[in-house]
A and B are shown apart, each in its own frame.
Chain A
């Protein structure tokens, strides 16, 4: 399945492409986890990637962020080829992500968690830090200020000195998004942000995603199992099964696509109202 179906004309084609995956294939040993995967992200889009368990969604994320090196194909971010670059460079270029199972620096304070993500933009070096130069003090204060701004957005500012591991689950999820934002991304990749949340928290999360997207002019790529969340906030969807794209399109079209229903929705119809 090459190219996009026609029905995507609703997208504003004039927006610049920020991330383009072409024919990405990845093998784990002999297992083909992702096969000929294409994806084009345009500036400011909010795109969902869905599919049954083991369809290869997280693998796609890992390929984009350099955790695995794609066996074949190309991943271009603006004009840079990402395949082969180490993760931290990809993140520093402006792609931030969260994790399926929360991975905070759980013995550090909430504030430090955010400040760590800010490290590439710290603006001072080791020598400044050791000698406590003026530059260090200014930049450090600025960094703290910024980090606190993020925490404020996520309503975590009252707990900034708490140990991250001691936060309740929902706050940890939020902190993880805050940490990803502190890396100054242009593309935010959310790996099942609603996992383990109750419906009310999911509503809040949806608002939050909308808000940060507007606020920071982000492009958001989202993997999620909760169909309600995906269907209501994503502009368009890509559906994967067994490492391949089986459908693309607007949420409503995807929902009625027989292939998708067979692969996915049929089994989870209850969730889809």
Chain B
């Protein structure tokens, strides 16, 4: 076992402390349900925004689609648990094993496509789309009768205290995978566009998702989502431990990924796409990796949010909302994980908590007058964000010591 470095120890200890303090406040009832909700919401938004930071801050792809994936994840995982607690494992099987099947098929297809050269992205997209449809169709037809009773039996045998978190975990994973699959399909052709056009297309995506969510019961075959009336009856399973744990894992994943060769490839695309391609980086691959990962984060966060408020409405995934992560990520500092986390919580606590509570009654609408003014002030005074590119030591790239002078100097080198 490698020895842990000091920053890692401090980081883990500090996180644990924060976790315990807030857990204590919740357990003792100091934080009422309203503030608990605010903190959970802040956690979910922070995870969404970390995803956006990966896409925009580190990979340089201006995206407004984060709320679309957030919505897909929220509705997806909520649909799974909604049916599960009502004794129907079919949704779980399709969302979990169907997604896994589709991902497996993707891997097979990618391997097959590598044998061809000059395949356009649009052609790839077509094949991936067909495979996705086939995969989910097969999972409905084959996997549901096959695995459904088996899974149900397995979970029935487990004690309730184990089964419920496990189901929740699987539901979150399903939501994340559904968001990831969608983002892969969407990103494949669209990431090819330049940065601004990509942003516009993702904005379109968010709007399309919202319209689809409005019509889940009429056009899409998901009657339990109840379309524009909003989805009710989602179990309230999200706890502070879930929110914090997910956030922690997401931060660690991002940190570990970014400070590796893969992460540097992702960042190099932001710096100069052409140059990255011409030093041997598979730019399309790096872009799709960042985009899918960021969307998976958003999907998981959606699941957390859905199981906290237990009520989902398409209006909360309106494209206007999707400016929120963008604003947070710019406020925190593009490319700063620390900034994102700090600002994400601050944003929700300030906007939904403080402003809502402390404005005198009758002046609630002033919230949205004050909020843009904060935006303007912030951008005029500190356009690079609160944290700029500052990171906590743990989240920084490890400092590389100068190489030890090698015993035998290399032969006479010019320059």
Contacts and interface: CB of A to CB of B under 8 A. Distances in A.
Direct A–B contact present (CB less than 8 angstroms)? yes
Interface of A: 65, 67, 84-88, 91-92, 96-97, 99, 103-109, 111-112, 115-120, 122, 124-126, 128-132, 136-137, 140, 143-145, 148-149, 152-155, 157-158, 160-161, 174, 179-180, 182-183, 204, 207-208, 210-211
Contacts of B277: 86-88, 91
Nearest to A105: B271
A103 B277 CA distance: 12
Interface stretch (B137-145, B159-167, B278-286): B278-286
Interface in B228-268: 253, 256-257, 260-265, 267-268
Q: Which 10 A-B pairs have the closest CB atoms?
A: A207-B414, A129-B260, A91-B280, A105-B271, A122-B261, A103-B275, A117-B279, A148-B403, A87-B277, A116-B268
A148 B403 CA distance: 7
B115 interface: no
A108 B397 CA distance: 11
Given A161-B400, A207-B415, A208-B414, A137 B2 contact: yes
Interface residues of B, number: 36
Given A67-B278, A84-B117, A112 B414 contact: no
A249 B279 CA distance: 31
A130 B257 contact: yes
A127 B11 CA distance: 22
Given A105-B267, A122-B261, A126-B262, A116 B414 contact: no
Nearest to B289: A126
B86 interface: no
B409 to A, nearest CB: 10
A65 B276 CA distance: 13
Contacts of B276: 105, 116
Nearest to A154: B415
A160 B400 contact: yes
B118 interface: yes
26 contacts: A87-B277, A87-B278, A88-B277, A91-B277, A92-B280, A96-B279, A103-B275, A105-B268, A106-B271, A111-B400, A116-B276, A117-B279, A119-B279, A122-B261, A122-B262, A129-B261, A131-B256, A137-B2, A140-B261, A148-B402, A152-B410, A153-B410, A153-B413, A154-B415, A204-B415, A207-B415
A129 B263 contact: yes
A108 B399 contact: no
Nearest to B264: A116
B415 A105 contact: no
B276 to A, nearest CB: 7
A154 B413 CA distance: 9
Contacts of A208: 414-415
Most chain A CB within 10 A, of B2, B264, B274, is at B264
B364 interface: no
Given A111-B400, A122-B261, A126-B289, A91 B279 contact: yes
Contacts of B281: 88, 116, 119-120
A154 B410 CA distance: 12
A110 B257 CA distance: 20
B266 to A, nearest CB: 10
Given A105-B275, A126-B289, A112 B264 contact: yes
A203 to B, nearest CB: 9
B294 to A, nearest CB: 14
Contact of A88 (B118, B253, B262, B282): B282
Nearest to A139: B261
B253 A130 contact: yes
Contact of A179 (B257, B264, B265, B279): B279
Most chain A CB within 10 A, of B256, B261, B271, B279, is at B279
B272 interface: yes
A76 to B, nearest CB: 14
B200 to A, nearest CB: 25
B280 A119 contact: yes
A68 B277 CA distance: 13
B116 to A, nearest CB: 11
A144 B400 contact: yes
Contacts of B403: 145, 148-149, 152, 157
Contact of A183 (B118, B265, B279, B410): B279
Interface in B265-314: 265, 267-268, 271-272, 274-283, 289
A183 B280 contact: yes
Contacts of B264: 108, 112, 115-116, 119
Nearest to A94: B280
Given A104-B272, A144-B400, 4 more contacts: A88-B283, A103-B275, A158-B402, A183-B279
